[in-house]
Each structure stands twice: as C-alpha cells, then as structure tokens.
Amino acid sequence: MYTNNSSIISGVSVCVPKNEINNYSFLKKDGVDQFIKHTGVKKHFLSSNNKLSTSDLCYVAAERIIKKLNWKKKDISFLIFVSQTRDFLLPSTACILQNRLNLRKNILAYDIPLGCSGFVYGLYNSYLISVNMKSKGLLLAGDMSSKLINLNDEKMAGLFGDAGTATAIQYEKKSKKLSFFTFGTDGSGYNNLIYNSSGINDSNKKKYLEMNGAKIFEFALHEVPVQIKKLLSKSKNSINSIDYFVFHQANKFMLNALGKKLGLPKEKVIYSIDRFGNTNSASIPITLSENLKKKNDLKILISGFGVGYSWAIAIINLHKPKFDSLQKI
C-alpha cells in the first residue's frame, strides 16, 4: 500500500462521439433482453466517423475542464494521456495535445497505454508528479474501442463505448487527507484480452480485439475482492467508511458479482455502464462525473482491473470537485 497526502482531483470533464446507440434497436431482437440484462448496457456512444481520434475527445474534455476551473494554461506542468488507441505509434499523443491545447513548452507530457486499470495508474503517477512539482496538471484518459472491434460483432459492438475524459489534478499543501494505492500484475493472462499485433506493418489480415470473457471474469472475481479487502484493512478503512465504490465498468454481471462477494450495500456501488458501455480507461472518471455532480466531501474507493492482467485500487478523497456536463462532438 502506498500513500499520498497532497494531491487532489479538482474536476472531471467527459466528451463522447455524438453517435449514440440504443442497444434495444441496435441488437438482434431474439437476444437483446438477455444481453442487456447481462452487460447492463442500454445505451452507449460509438463513433461512426473514421477520422475522429481519441485525442479529439480528450482535447474537448481538457479545454472544458480548464475553462470550468478557471485554470491558467501557463500553470499546467504535466499532461498524461492514458489510452490503448493512441493517434500514432509514435510520436506520443500527449505531445500532439500539448500543441493543440496551446500549453506551455516546459511541460512533462507522456502516454501510458493501459486499459481497464489505466485511470488509477495515471492518477498515481499524476499525484506523485504533482507533489514533486508542487504544481497542477491534466490526466487525459480515453479510448475509442470502435477502432479495435468488429462493429458487426454484436457481443463486442453492444458492449464497448468510446469516450475521452480530462481529470484536473492539483497539488494542495494543506490537504491532509491521505490517499491509498495498491497495484498488481499477472501477465500469465496476457492473451485473454489482446489486440494480437504490435501495429507495425501488420498487413496480414484485419485484426480485432480478442476477449476471453470467462477467463477475465474468473481472474477479476478471484483477485479484486481480496485486494480491496486488504487495502481497506491496511488503510484502516471499512466498507462503512467508504461513501462509494467505483469499479471499472466491465459489465453489470461482473460488477454485481464483485459487489456481492464484498458484501457491498447496493446504494454504495455506482455505475455508468448503462449509459456509456465499457469505456476502458475512461470508465472510472465517467462514473464519478456522471453520478456525483451534487456531492461533496466524499471518500471513494476506485478499482480498475482487466487487460494485462493488471489491476489497481485506490481510496481517494473528493472535496468539492467540479464535474462538467457531458460533451458530444
């Protein structure tokens, strides 16, 4: 367990492609009810525009949160871009966003290509950097799964959603509330969620994301509750002391099973999968932003898990964060 006591989330903004899909009309009639019951996905956003990129979504979210918080761009000292659908293999999309957002040049900017656990990884890195720099920065997490999947494969196209998010991270000397983090990796399951190509001159045949849902479910149910209990105990927290539990929005069936295994009260588990689908690294900030707009002074447990296998859990404090209204482009 690792701690941080001087960084906070000041706000979150979310941007999605305007193409909203209603699964009741999108999916074949005979299996639609069962699919929606299992995954929990009623609506979601999938781009129908080939030219739209993950950086386009994160750019809009970043501009919005900077404006909402009245930040001066010259004060932004770092930019971390978390995504599995980066604009180019090289250069880093973070560099492209630095220029597009017209941020200062003496900025630290890099990409972290992580999925389900990516937001918590990005948050930990942002917290460490903001303390070291005694400054503020942007954590941009987003994925356009529409690029990775076969849109004719209903099991995938009905589940995933595109989204970009911007989370504003601030150093606060006076913040005395501790955040707690824990991380894990088990590469033995690397091929259960994979895009089986390096992306370099791989023109053999069209490739799509491959997912062994049963194996991922088995891993998550086995590993995540144990690690969450450990973190609660080591940080001297309990289920009672946590206001909300925010899981990576994998699918409703898995989230229900996790909640049950941990014995969580239903009202403490919040969701975005019904309206956004599985949005990969964007799922945790979306769930925060879309459910907690009028809330204040909260202690939240967030947990990302999946591709890698990789998992990350944190207990964070939210004090008057500003959650922006949803943007569509």
Q: Binding to a copy of itself (CB under 8 A): which residues in 275-314? A: 307-310, 312
Residue closer to a copy of itself (CB basis): 23 or 281: 281
Residue 84 lies near a copy of itself (rule: CB under 8 A): yes
Given 43, 172, 184, 299, the residue binding a copy of itself (CB under 8 A)? 184
Closest by alpha carbon to 295, among 317, 319, 325, 265? 319
Preceding omega of 91 cis (within 30 degrees of 0)? yes
Residue 186 lies near a copy of itself (rule: CB under 8 A): yes
Other residues' Cβ atoms within 10 Å of the Cβ of residue 138: 28
Please enumerate in sequence order all residues whose Cβ is within 8 A of that of 107, keeping only pairs 6 or more positions apart, or say none. 76, 77, 78, 79, 98
Gyration radius of the chain's alpha carbons = 19
Q: How far is the CB of 262 from a copy of itself (least distance, A)?
A: 19
Q: How far is the CB of 43 from a copy of itself (least distance, A)?
A: 25
In the range 125-154, which residues lie near a copy of itself by CB under 8 A? 125, 128-129, 132-133, 147-148
Q: Which residues pair with 109 in a beta bridge?
A: 79
Contact by Cβ (8 Å): 82, 122: yes
Please enumerate in sequence order all residues whose Cβ is within 8 A of that of 90, keeping only pairs 6 or more positions apart, or say none. none
Q: How far is the CB of 192 from a copy of itself (least distance, A)?
A: 9
The answer to whether the Cα torsion of 285, 288, 293, 295 is positive or negative is: negative
Pattern of binders to a copy of itself over 15-54, x per CB under 8 A?
--------------------------------------x-
Contact by Cβ (8 Å): 222, 185: no
Residue 88 lies near a copy of itself (rule: CB under 8 A): yes
Sole window of 7-15, 122-130, 288-296, 321-329 interacting with a copy of itself (rule: CB under 8 A): 122-130
Q: How far is the CB of 99 from a copy of itself (least distance, A)?
A: 3
Given 4, 272, 287, 289, the residue binding a copy of itself (CB under 8 A)? 4
